[in-house]
Structure 1
Amino acid sequence: MSQPQQGEKRKNDGKDRSRRRYRPDGTPVWGQKSMDGPGIWVTCVRNKEKSTVGELYDLFDSLASEMWPQQDSDKSKDEGDDDNEEDTDDDENIEAQIAKEVASMKRPRKEQRFVNCDTNTPCVVFISCKSPVDPVQLVLKHVENVMETGVSRTRFTQRLTPVSASCVANIPEIKSLCTRLLQPVLDEDPEKAYKYKVELRIRNHNTVQRMPLIEELAKCVPEKHTVDLESPELFILVEIFKSLCGISVVKDYYKLQKFNVMEIANAKNEETKFESGEGRLGERTSTP
């Protein structure tokens, strides 16, 4: 067998080094992920994926402006400064204004807070979230609004599943990510022993098996916390899609109907109709 040439050996060594990547804590990084996280997985009405993305852009931008207004206020301040400068003597500053406009055209665009990542899968949408947006807080805010008002502000969106971060869909990476996301939540109340459950959803993926993964994820949770499949207080949401895995840790998942805003809105509206009808019926039956 012929020996590899010296240049070929150096080339292969470089490839091996690029594959051998480690985090600051020493844990290895396996493979590459195909979509950016954090973000929000969305199920929607079939053949309405594009319409769903459009309505979610409007909804999420509106909520984010309320929850993280600093970014918008900074933008408005910059625009206001430009307006003040333009109020100066136009005749003296035409050349300066033209130069400013040219410079602004060359300036890179402000990064969008929400970006659609094409899944090429019916009924499934993924919206990537950029800082300072927290997808868990964003989804909770919207779900609570829908529960209170019965207004979903969307027509085709069904379930929203936030992921705080994502990784390659293999067990070592998933366990590492789960540990990193779980610890800050447990540290909020170190004395509390939670009842928890792993909520795992797998789509278009056949490498990682359900039960072995759930068993491995349970090992990431300290022993004082116990599994409860009926009435858990803490939920580890795990979404596996193709080669990507997204994870978040949430509370009140069952109470909030698994973040299915379409079902929440329908149930709230039916409840309102029933209460109104019951009141009218009571008035009629009390009349002699």
Structure 2
Amino acid sequence: MSEHKSGEKRKSEGKDRSRKRYRPDGTPVWGQRSLEGPGIWATCVRNKERSTVGELYDLFESLSKDLWPEPSNADTLNDDAEGSDGEADDGETIEAQIAKEVASMKRPRKEQRFANSDTNTPCVVFISCKPPVNPVQLVVKHVENVMETGVTRTRFTQRLTPVAASCIANIPEIKSLCTRLLQPVLDDDPDKVYKYKVELRIRNHNTVKRMEVIDELAKCMPEKHVVDLDNAELFILVEIFKQSICGISVVKDYYKMQKFNVMEIANTKNEEIGFKEGEGRLAEKSGTDTPVPP
């Protein structure tokens, strides 16, 4: 009897796995992915993947505390302590106080906002993000800081690519996800006509073709918006990785921010600072208030 029931259970589980699933908007969900977004792709120095993960944890945690601050645990503990003291004065029993202490110890730990996903690929790291973290906002904030200061706060990280959401790497899923991500961006300024470009990067994948993806994603944009490969204002960043995963985000000023290559941004900024300092020293030696031309 038990074997019969277990056989029925396996059959029903197989049917559930093969049954096509649908989103609330009616679009089908195709397959399963090996990496889950949202998150951030990072390229790094070869053989420094583990070190890159560590430095990105520290960087992202620091930035997220400023962008999305959490309530202080100390405040909660103080409130509990004040409450327990007041109730103890009113005749609370020792057993009741102990029960409160045990309950406070059993509170769930603060959920980690970032987690490393093993890519098994040299020079490539993926850090998944949990709410309230917005990967695009996080990366843009860091890039702006590097552009201003020339300090990356990392040693091995090269380029960062935010992933607002991910899907299976096939055309129907990619188009569906792109449409959903574009809608709120376009709705922010419905009268604006954007010049846009699809920035596609494919790693270890040979199923969907590059031009096919770009052509299909262009159909997701309303016709009034125009493709501009040199002076785009809006960029659809698409990362296809291996056979199963596609990550997409919609960003602005991607070229102005040197494609989020923080190492290059820092080098450029530090060269500018060094040049200005050199001009200043020449001016001091010449005894004038203005820089001497080289």
Amino acid at match of 2:14: K
Taking a change above 3 Å as real, the CA distance of residues 170 and 81 of structure 1, as seen in their structure-2 partners, is: same
Can you give the 5+ residue segments of structure 2 that lack an aligned partner in the other structure?
1-5, 289-294
What does residue 81 of structure 1 align with? Answer: 79
- 2:208 is aligned with 1:208: yes
Identical aligned pairs, as a percentage?
A: 75
CA distance in 2, matches of 1:97, 1:147: 54
CA distance in 2, matches of 1:265, 1:271: 10
CA distance in 1, matches of 2:54, 2:93: 41
CA root-mean-square deviation: 2.6
What does residue 4 of structure 1 align with? Answer: none
Taking a change above 3 Å as real, the CA distance of residues 93 and 38 of structure 1, as seen in their structure-2 partners, is: farther
CA distance in 2, matches of 1:260, 1:101: 49
Taking a change above 3 Å as real, the CA distance of residues 93 and 139 of structure 1, as seen in their structure-2 partners, is: farther
Report the 3-state secondary structure (helix = DSSP H, G, I; strand = E; otherwise coil) of the residue aligned with 2:205: coil
CA distance in 2, matches of 1:151, 1:281: 26
- 2:219 is aligned with 1:237: no
Structure 1 residue 58: Cα displacement? 1.2
CA distance in 1, matches of 2:41, 2:250: 14
Map 1:181-192; keep pairs closer than 5 Å: 181-192=181-192
Once the two structures are superposed, residues 21-42 of structure 1 have per-residue CA deviations (whole angstroms, 9 ceiling, x without a partner) of 0111111100012222111111
CA distance in 1, matches of 2:30, 2:141: 34
Map 1:88-237; keep pairs closer than 5 Å: 95-96=95-96, 98-237=98-237
Structure 1 residue 101: Cα displacement? 4.7
CA distance in 2, matches of 1:130, 1:11: 33
Report the 3-state secondary structure (helix = DSSP H, G, I; strand = E; otherwise coil) of the residue aligned with 1:121: coil
Per mean C-alpha deviation after superposition, the further-off stretch among 74-83 and 256-265 is 74-83
Structure 1 residue 282: Cα displacement? 3.0
Structure 1 residue 17: Cα displacement? 4.5
For normalisation by structure 1, the TM-score amounts to: 0.88
Structure 1 residue 109: Cα displacement? 2.6
CA distance in 2, matches of 1:97, 1:121: 53
